[in-house]
Every structure is written in C-alpha cells, then in structure tokens.
C-alpha cells in the first residue's frame, strides 16, 4: 500500500513537472506557419494605422502585397509604406519586384512613417 502511494506521488510530481516545464518553456509562435488574419496591401495596412483602430492587426500575422522599394541586410521595404524584417533575405529579391510577404505586425514607426513587421517570409508570387 505504501509502495503504491509513493508511486502515485512520484507519478504526480513527474507529470506536474512536465506540465510546468512545458508551460514555462513553451515554444515561440511560428509566424511562418500561422494562418494570416488579414490579406493586405502596403497601402491598406498603412491606412489602418493612420485612420482606423490598429489593435486587431497588432501582434497578428498578416500578409502584405507591394513593390520592393528598399532592401538592406535584414529587411525589405515595400512602397516606402511597410518594412518587414527577415532572418535571412532570399537572394533573388530586387528593387521594383512585386512580392507578397507574411509576417507579424509590430506597429507604426513615426520616424520613417511606415508600418513594421518582423519574422517575415516571402510567399510565392
């Protein structure tokens, strides 16, 4: 009987430990595989931040279509209206190309007057 009780307590501790560990060390969101909540253009996403309430798309995964206006080491800017950061910029990107990017919208940048996104990926055009 005592043995059974000890075993039970042991099992509870282990299971509790696993649940606790999984809660504390849960995985990061995977933006690349998340379903986007909105399909936008560089124009329409900027408009959301300029006029409407942006709380719905803030921190959400969205896709944005536009023409590449700037490329630097870690980010691509579309039509000077949206800037998205990538862990790695695909090699075949060029200024003037029409692309659709998917990423997490992190807010509006007053300095450059554009919307910023991170963890972006390029969707196949």
Partner 1 sequence: MKKIFFLISALVLILGPLHAQEKLKTKSGTITFEASVPSFEEVKATHQNVSAILNTSNGEFAALALVKGFRFKVALMEEHFNENYMESSTYPKAVFKGIIADFDIEDLKDKPSKYTIKGSITLHGETRDLNEPVQIWKEEDKIVVTTNFKLNPEDFNIKIPAVVSKKIAEDVDVAAKFNLQN
Phi, psi angles (nearest 5°) of residue 10: -55, -45
Q: Judged by CB under 8 A, does residue 112 bind partner 1?
A: yes
Minimum gap (Å) between residue 89 Cβ and partner 1: 11
Of the candidates 103, 64, 70, which has an alpha carbon nearest to the alpha carbon of residue 85? 103
Distance of CA 72 to the CA centre of its chain: 19
Minimum gap (Å) between residue 54 Cβ and partner 1: 9
Q: Judged by CB under 8 A, does residue 55 bind partner 1?
A: yes
Q: Judged by CB under 8 A, does residue 108 bind partner 1?
A: yes
* Under 8 Å between Cβ of 81 and 115: yes
Interacting residues toward partner 1 by CB under 8 A: 23-29, 55, 58-59, 72-75, 77, 83, 85, 104, 106-112, 116, 118
């Amino acid at each position: 009987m005592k043995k059974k009780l000890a075993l039970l307590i042991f099992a509870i501790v282990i299971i509790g430990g696993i649940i606790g560990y999984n809660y504390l060390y849960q995985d990061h969101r995977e933006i690349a595989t998340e379903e986007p909540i909105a399909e936008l253009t560089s124009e329409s996403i900027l408009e959301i931040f300029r006029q409407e309430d942006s709380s719905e798309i803030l921190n959400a995964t969205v896709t944005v279509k536009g023409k590449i206006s700037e490329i630097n080491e870690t980010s691509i800017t579309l039509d000077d209206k949206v800037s998205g950061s990538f862990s790695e910029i695909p090699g075949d990107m060029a200024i003037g190309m029409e692309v659709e990017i998917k990423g997490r919208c992190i807010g509006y940048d007053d300095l450059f007057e554009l919307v910023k996104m991170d963890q972006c990926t390029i969707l196949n055009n």
